[in-house]
């Protein structure tokens, strides 16, 4: 069984990953963007507290989870383990601005007035910081007020304990009431990027719900039946708020 430490993260190719997944926006990602946009907008409909800090865990070469947090946050941290992805993200957050590949995703966010008020490219450069680190080292001491984690806890290891630990570490990194969005490849048997193979833990709606038991209020699970490559059966999106239970990690 491949554990997180066994996978070739130092060989992760972010450009090949973007080519495979995001360069041509897929219907399912645009649907996820709409669901996340409407969910976060609803959470902040009565006003945005001062100094909200956001985190995207295992950000990799995907900016749309971070874009979803721009209107609400004073700062956003992109936490990522693979060095090539850290370099990719640092370039995206540099003064040159992020790649045009992310514009179609912002166009969908921009249909909401709160997002439309933001100039995304300059704001991204101003408030986003990139840090190399492991989800599995988050120990509940550092906490954020809004968080996203896309295709990470299920897509970093074959080990059930590491999946649950990833979920626990993510939820324990959120303050009470923090809105979150997390996405999972349903029943994934692993994935390839270029000539490298990466592990996955097979999840379905039930496993995702179970993994969040005790951590979330108002949990919404969207079981999206879109298949984007061989070796999985759909995509699951979980939306909710961190409840008041004390951090377990
Ligand atoms: C399938 S990719 C998902 C990337 C991106 N979030 C997305 O939505 O496309 C899995 C990501 O998890 C990252 N990762 C793997 N192990 C990790 C760990 N222990 N802590 C944080 N990130 C990790 C990988 O480097 C990679 O960026």
Give residue ranges with CB within 6 A of ligand 1. Answer: 4, 9, 12, 58-60, 62, 80-82, 85, 134-136, 150-152, 155-156
Ligand 1 center from residue 230 Cα (angstroms) = 20
Choice from 56, 60, 200 to test ligand 1 binding pocket (greatest atom count within 8 A of CB):
60
Condensed to tens digits (0 to 9), the pLDDT of residues 142-185 reads 999 999 999 999 999 999 999 999 999 999 999 999 999 999 99
Query: Strand pairing partners for 185?
Result: 235
- From residue 83, how far is each of 26, 70, 130, 152, 216 by CA, in Å? 26, 24, 11, 15, 31
Q: How many CB atoms lie within 10 A of CB 6?
A: 12
Cα 66 to Cα 131: distance, rounded to the nearest angstrom = 14
Nearest atom, ligand 1, residue 183 CA: 8
Condensed to tens digits (0 to 9), the pLDDT of residues 165-177 reads 999 999 999 999 9
Please report where in the chains the tokens 């992020």 appear, as a residue.
Answer: 98
Average pLDDT estimate for 230-243: 97
Nearest atom, ligand 1, residue 56 CA: 6
């Amino acid at each position: 069984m491949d554990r997180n430490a066994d996978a070739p993260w130092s060989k992760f190719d972010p450009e090949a990953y973007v080519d495979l997944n995001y360069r041509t926006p897929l219907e399912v990602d645009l649907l996820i963007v709409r669901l996340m946009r409407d969910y976060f907008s609803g959470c902040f409909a009565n006003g945005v507290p001062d100094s909200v800090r956001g985190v995207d865990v295992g950000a990799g070469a995907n900016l749309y989870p971070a874009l979803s947090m721009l209107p609400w946050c004073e700062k956003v941290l992109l936490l990522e383990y693979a060095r090539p992805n850290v370099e990719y993200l640092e370039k995206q957050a540099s003064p040159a601005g992020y790649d045009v590949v992310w514009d179609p995703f912002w166009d969908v966010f921009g249909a909401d007035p709160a997002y439309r008020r933001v100039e995304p490219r300059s704001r991204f450069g101003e408030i986003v910081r990139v840090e190399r680190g492991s989800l599995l080292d988050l120990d509940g001491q550092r906490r954020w007020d809004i968080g996203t984690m896309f295709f990470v806890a299920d897509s970093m290891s074959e080990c059930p304990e590491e999946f649950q630990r990833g979920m626990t570490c993510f939820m324990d990194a959120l303050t009470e009431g923090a809105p979150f969005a997390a996405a999972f490849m349903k029943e994934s048997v692993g994935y390839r990027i270029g000539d490298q193979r990466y592990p996955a833990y097979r999840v379905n709606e039930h496993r995702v719900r179970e993994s969040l038991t005790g951590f979330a209020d108002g949990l919404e699970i969207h079981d999206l039946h879109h298949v984007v490559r061989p070796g999985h059966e759909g995509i699951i999106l979980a939306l909710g708020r961190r409840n008041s239970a004390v951090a377990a990690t």
